[in-house]
Amino acid sequence: MSDRLNEDSLADLPENIRRPAYDRRAVTTGIVHLGIGAFHRAHQAVYTDDVLALDPRWGIVAASLRSPDTFDALAPQDGLYTLSVRSQAGEALRIIGSIGRVIVAPRATDDLLDAMADPRTKIVTLTVTEKGYCHDPATGTLNEAHPDIVHDLAYLRTPRSAPGFIVEALRRRRRAGVPPFTVLTCDNLPSNGRTVKRVLTRFAELIDPDLGRFVESEVSCPSTMVDRIVPATSDQDRQRIGEALHVEDAWPVVTEPFTQWVIEDRFPQGRPAWEKAGAEFVADVEPYEHMKLRLLNGSHSTLAYLGYLAGYETVADTMADPAFVRLIEGLMDEEVTPTLHMPPGADLASYKRALIERFKNPALKHRTWQIAMDGSQKLPQRLLGTVRDRLRDGASIARLSLGVAAWMRYVTGIDEKGAAIDVRDPMAARLRELADEAGGGAERLAHALFGIREIFGDDLPSDPRFTQPVTAHLAWLYEKGARRTVAEFGGA
């Protein structure tokens, strides 16, 4: 028996571990996925694993656009990996088999383009994170000066970016008379389908106006709302799971019991029956997307910046502090909920109660530092859209502005004890430079950061109803620190 999880060792796993209920050799590729991170493997790949037993045409070829790590781990495992679902009640393990092959895009560009251009491929799914769309987060339009976009427009056949790969594959399909695949983004962007469509159309148009029109009129990009909390896997996770399997799994994913996938049903080339695995198909995803981005992700980012500054390592640690729970409940109930327009029957109260419990899940070690990453790409849809709606209604943004202020304090790169913060953000260098130039002092720092129009747009920086509370909260954070600021926060 192999000492590694793979096709050979599958049959010898302990009985209680669920494994693919279908013959993997009979599966063909219907989906190419870009961005094979932990999230994809704990979400879309699981829904797809569920439906492969009913229909073998929807196997996944998954690509990483940068790092070879997932390939190196999964190739010796025949693409198999463990899904661990953890809560206070314990841990359930299941082997997922829906990913048939992994491609490292920079090493095998043609291989990936061939898979995308293959007529059997009907859907290209994406989890490339917010920054992977190479767009301007404030406006949702393609950033034409992005180095990867500049590169991809010059070298169409050897792209680096997700838009570059998709448009080149669509171009090849069109030339060969193969209908376009559906592009299904599963990232936390606002109106994610519409955003990806805008980005792809513009990219194509820059190559050739006719190609731009083709993408605009022929390519379907349904919007989706995806939800499952998936922290980075740790060495402890790997060890614990290996012991339970009696074989090594180098690349398991660890997640929570909750999972949700709401999808607009626009798949001209067909799709898997993901509804059989619990996905919801609707005509318009936007209300669900707002609910999720603003309640879950808006709270998450607020918890991440304030929690990190307060010295808490994980979201669960942060939520063990009752002052933070009060703040987040206030944020959700008082400031976010009035901006949501849910379809009849949606039960926001229980959604919010569940969120608080999910954040408290002590079995998930979701680091505040991990969520704090890429704030420049996240703030607009998580906090600033809500801020705009509130200002339009003449309503208070006390807690929202505290979240924004905490981000400002965090991106200076120096914590409350004077130690360095490892700020990961495509704008990290610029943020640091602005903070250094401002040279301390809440007012100057806030003023400098408001000047980043890719984040704040043109409207917010000139609205004192926004700039004043953010600046005041930033001053508090400097004066009192995050823990006291949150403890004393009245929310008025």
Least distance (Å) from ligand CS2 to the CB of residue 265? 21
Sign of CA dihedral 43, 44, 47, 49: negative
Helix 464-487 and helix 398-411, axial crossing angle in degrees, nearest 10:
80
State which residue has the least CB distance to ligand CS2: 300
Least distance (Å) from ligand CS2 to the CB of residue 304? 7
C-alpha closest to that of 426 among 388, 392, 452, 457: 452
Which of 188, 223, 361, 467 is in the footprint of ligand CS2 by CB under 6 A?
188
How far apart are alpha carbons 108 and 113 in whole angstroms? Answer: 9
How far apart are alpha carbons 189 and 223 in whole angstroms? Answer: 10
Encoding tokens for residue 145? 């000066």
Least distance (Å) from ligand CS2 to the CB of residue 382? 8
How would you label 426-436 residue by residue, b for 16+ Cβ within 10 Å and e otherwise? bbbeebbebbe
Q: Which helix (H) or strand (E) holds 448?
A: helix 442-450
Sequence-distant (6+) residues with CB within 8 A of 245 are 5, 13, 14, 17, 82, 93
By beta-carbon proximity to ligand CS2, the closer residue of 304 and 387 is 304
Which of 297, 361, 412, 467 is in the footprint of ligand CS2 by CB under 6 A?
297
Q: Are 124 and 34 in contact (CB under 8 A)?
A: yes
C-alpha closest to that of 287 among 344, 230, 335, 237: 344
How far apart are alpha carbons 294 and 57 in whole angstroms? Answer: 36
Q: Which stretch binds ligand CS2 (CB under 6 A): 132-140, 197-205, 296-304, 451-459?
A: 296-304
End-to-end CA distance of the chain: 64
Q: Which helix (H) or strand (E) holds 150?
A: helix 147-154
By beta-carbon proximity to ligand CS2, the closer residue of 233 and 297 is 297
Residue 460 DSSP class: G
Least distance (Å) from ligand CS2 to the CB of residue 219? 25
Q: What does the radius of gyration of the chain's CA atoms come to, in whole angstroms?
A: 23
Q: Does 381 bind ligand CS2 (CB under 6 A)?
A: no
Sequence-distant (6+) residues with CB within 8 A of 70 are 36, 37, 62, 64, 102, 251
By beta-carbon proximity to ligand CS2, the closer residue of 86 and 171 is 86
By beta-carbon proximity to ligand CS2, the closer residue of 122 and 300 is 300
Q: Which of residues 215-234 bind ligand CS2 (CB under 6 A)?
A: 227-229
By beta-carbon proximity to ligand CS2, the closer residue of 13 and 295 is 295
By beta-carbon proximity to ligand CS2, the closer residue of 109 and 381 is 381
Q: Which stretch binds ligand CS2 (CB under 6 A): 138-146, 292-300, 305-313, 477-485?
A: 292-300
Least distance (Å) from ligand CS2 to the CB of residue 373? 7
- Provide the edge-to-edge strand list for the sheet that holds 99-104: 99-104, 59-64, 29-34, 123-126, 182-185
* Mask for 239-278, x = binds ligand CS2 (CB under 6 A): ----------------------------------------
Least distance (Å) from ligand CS2 to the CB of residue 377? 10
By beta-carbon proximity to ligand CS2, the closer residue of 121 and 188 is 188
Instruction: Give the number of residues in contact with ligand CS2, rule: CB under 6 A.
Output: 9
By beta-carbon proximity to ligand CS2, the closer residue of 122 and 365 is 365
Give the Cα-Cα-Cα angle 181, 183, 186 (nearest 5 degrees).
145
Least distance (Å) from ligand CS2 to the CB of residue 258? 9
Which of 128, 371, 379, 486 is in the footprint of ligand CS2 by CB under 6 A?
371
Which of 198, 300, 365, 483 is in the footprint of ligand CS2 by CB under 6 A?
300
Q: Which of residues 407-466 bind ligand CS2 (CB under 6 A)?
A: none
How far apart are alpha carbons 491 and 473 in whole angstroms? Answer: 11
Least distance (Å) from ligand CS2 to the CB of residue 335? 18
By beta-carbon proximity to ligand CS2, the closer residue of 188 and 386 is 188
Q: Interface with ligand CS2 by CB under 6 A: which residues?
A: 188, 227-229, 296-297, 300, 370-371
